[in-house]
Amino acid sequence: MLLMKPCISLLLVSFLLIEARVDKCGTQLLEGCFCGEQFYQNETMFVVNCTGLGFTTTDMLEQLPEETEVLIFTGNHISTLETNIFGDIVDLTMLKYIDMSNNGIRDIKGKAFHHVLGVERLILNHNNISISQEYEKNFHHPRVFSNFNSLRELHLTNAFADNTDAALADDLHDIFVNSNLTKLYKLHLEQNEIRNFRDERVFCDLPELHDLHLGDNNIPSLNFNITCLSKLRYLDLEDNNITKFSQRDLDTFDMLAQPYRSENLRIQLEGNPFRCDSAIKNLYNWLHKTKVIVRDLDRLECHQAKYGKRYIMNLKILQNRDKQKYHKLLWCF
């Protein structure tokens, strides 16, 4: 009989935990979700976590507890975010973080997000957001993020459907112009097959932008304006399709470093197919004198094919060599 007491106690504790979990969610629509306090972003916050539950609609989001600070709604099957996914009544003034990654989202309706005035981070990574539907009719909604008055981080890594480069460039321009993201601090756009932008001032309507992540795209050059981003501190251009920088590009980088600014720009450039030609001479010389901080300099390489062989040279190693020997080695190409 004494041996049964621990078992009964454990069952009772488990039942109470399950009951508390249901009570904190407040509705059967959120069945399977975790609702309660968790340690998140170095502090204890009220989290609603609905990961991998196979939801096909967002109806349950209209019943979120008012104390929700973090919404993790990932790994479901939501093709469309309809207008006003959080409903008309719920007051979500505490909500700060939304993660809707890996949901298969294809379309985000205008005014899909409402009651999100306090949200600081929105994550829509690894979705399949389409830009154009049949007959190439564009149906993007340029004010899709217009209600995010406090948004500081927007994560759109691999968020868009493939083969939408031209339409995506137009879409991004319209979104940034019309969504009034005046507090946006960090923008992630990696892995979206981006090559060109319709307007070189595509990011200029983001006055507080500090970190711009454009890695793992197909960008061929510095084909967008960064001098309008007076607070830009980090630019990620790694793993793109950049073969060279013009002298104008290098001068542009310098405009965001001392003596023009107190804080030097940091840039990430490795993984680009720089050519070992006259343009690499300018880049090499610039690396010696610039105040811009080039991260992972030891990974910078230039590539050249000569006499049927492919040569790869590491720029940092070349920097550390005697300059005269470097000229003899590189200038021969």
Task: Tell me the average pLDDT across 41-61.
Answer: 95
- The 8-class DSSP code of residue 59 comes to G
pLDDT above 50 for 57: yes
Averaged pLDDT of the chain: 84
Residue 327's H or E segment, with its range, is: helix 323-330
pLDDT above 60 for 276: yes
Phi-psi label, residue 290: left if phi above 0, alpha if psi -120 to 50, beta otherwise: beta
Q: What is the pLDDT of residue 316?
A: 65
Distance CA 271, CA 143 (A): 34
What are the tokens at 120? 């600081």
SS3 state of residue 289: helix
Q: What is the pLDDT of residue 332?
A: 46
Q: What is the pLDDT of residue 131?
A: 65
Q: pLDDT category, 19, cuts 50, 70, 90? A: very low
Q: pLDDT category, 159, cuts 50, 70, 90? A: very high
191 vs 15 pLDDT, higher one: 191
10 vs 216 pLDDT, higher one: 216
pLDDT above 60 for 309: no
What are the structural domain ranges in the chain?
242-333
pLDDT above 80 for 44: yes
pLDDT above 50 for 20: no
Buried b vs exposed e over 221-255: b needs ≥16 C-beta within 10 Å?
ebebebeebeebbbbbbbbbebbbbeeebbebbbe
Q: What is the pLDDT of residue 52?
A: 96
Q: What is the pLDDT of residue 135?
A: 39
Residue 38's H or E segment, with its range, is: strand 34-40
Q: What is the pLDDT of residue 88?
A: 80
End-to-end CA distance of the chain: 88
Residues contacting residue 275 through CB under 8 Å, at least 6 positions apart: 243, 244, 302, 303, 304
Helices 247-254 and 278-289, axial angle in degrees (round to 10):
20
pLDDT above 50 for 322: no
pLDDT above 80 for 89: no
pTM: 0.86
317 vs 275 pLDDT, higher one: 275
Q: What is the pLDDT of residue 22?
A: 46
Q: For 192-228, what is each residue's pLDDT tens digit?
A: 999 988 889 999 999 999 999 999 999 999 999 999 9
Task: Tell me the average pLDDT across 106-129.
Answer: 91
Q: For 120-138, what is each residue's pLDDT tens digit?
A: 999 999 999 886 544 344 4
Q: What is the pLDDT of residue 15?
A: 41
Q: pLDDT category, 170, cuts 50, 70, 90? A: confident
